[in-house]
Amino acid sequence: MKSREEIEHTLKAALASGESKIEEMRAKLAAAGDDASDDAKVALAEAEKMWEDGKVKFDQLSQASDEKFAELRADAEANWDEISDRLESGWASVSDKFKGFFS
């Protein structure tokens, strides 16, 4: 079982990676200017929302007492596969959709 520090480190790295991908998406939209489609803008907004939600969860975990962290961890572990699959498929969908606009 991972320690609290390992979990926080993993989540922090995932947030940093997501932020980097969002910055790339923003740069592509900026470069496209008026030619950027509304769908691409929606895909970016979806990615930003997913990142913001992840940041809120990370903040909750990192600021939680040890007891509350254990509760959150137990809840997350019980639903981890479902949550992870949903996040992965959601991010893949947004990424694929966005890439399609610039292919």
Question: 88: exposed, middle or buried (C-beta count within 10 Å: 0-12, 13-18, 19+)?
Answer: exposed
Q: What is the pLDDT of residues 56-81, one digit of tens each?
A: 888 888 899 999 988 887 777 666 56
Structure tokens at 14: 């995932």
DSSP tally for the chain: helices H, then strands E? 3, 0
Q: What is the pLDDT of residues 14-56, one digit of tens each?
A: 888 888 888 988 888 888 888 878 888 888 888 888 888 888 8
The reply to whether the predicted model has a pTM over 0.75 is: no
